[in-house]
């Protein structure tokens, strides 16, 4: 990953656009990271990983790509945890679940 100062970014914008095709670029201001650039190809690859509801939220502009990917990862983690609970017999019947609400 390449790092560039914001002042150099302004001066070398054309070169930075070329460089971001090969690696992500972190832009700094006063020594602190303030932004990261990725190529359109990388963004397309990331969005191709989305599925279902997170993809819908991303396409509708309600989540950016990173939030949508994070949301999808949480869903997958929850599904995997539920699968393990099921395999270990740690699940409840629908009647047991509804009994808690009555």
The 3-class secondary structure across 40-71, one letter per residue, is HHHHHHHHHCCCHHHHHHHHCCCCCHHHHHHH
Evaluate if residue 100 carries a pLDDT over 80: no
DSSP H or E run through 2: strand 2-5
* pTM listed for this prediction: 0.64
The pLDDT, as a whole number, for residue 73 is 93
Structure tokens at 85: 């609970």
The pLDDT, as a whole number, for residue 8 is 95
The pLDDT, as a whole number, for residue 19 is 95
The pLDDT, as a whole number, for residue 13 is 94
Q: How confident is the model at residue 94 (pLDDT cuts 50, 70, 90)?
A: confident
Evaluate if residue 102 carries a pLDDT over 80: no
Q: How confident is the model at residue 98 (pLDDT cuts 50, 70, 90)?
A: confident
Distance CA 35, CA 26 (A): 6
Q: Which pLDDT tens digit goes with each residue over 20-77?
A: 999 999 999 999 999 999 999 999 998 898 999 999 999 999 999 999 999 999 999 9
Which distant-in-sequence residues (6+ apart) come within 8 Å of 70 by Cβ? Answer: none
Considering the domain delimited by 2-38, tell me its CATH architecture. Answer: 3-Layer(aba) Sandwich (3.40)
């Amino acid at each position: 990953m390449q790092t560039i100062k914001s002042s150099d970014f302004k001066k070398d914008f054309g070169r930075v656009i070329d460089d971001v095709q090969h690696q992500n670029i972190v832009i700094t201001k006063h020594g602190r990271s303030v932004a990261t650039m990725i190529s359109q190809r990388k963004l397309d690859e990331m969005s191709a990983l989305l599925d279902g509801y997170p993809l819908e939220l991303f396409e509708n502009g309600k989540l950016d790509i990173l939030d949508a990917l994070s949301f999808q990862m949480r869903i997958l983690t929850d599904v995997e945890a539920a699968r393990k609970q099921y395999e270990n017999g740690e699940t409840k019947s629908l009647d047991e679940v509804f009994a808690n609400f009555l």
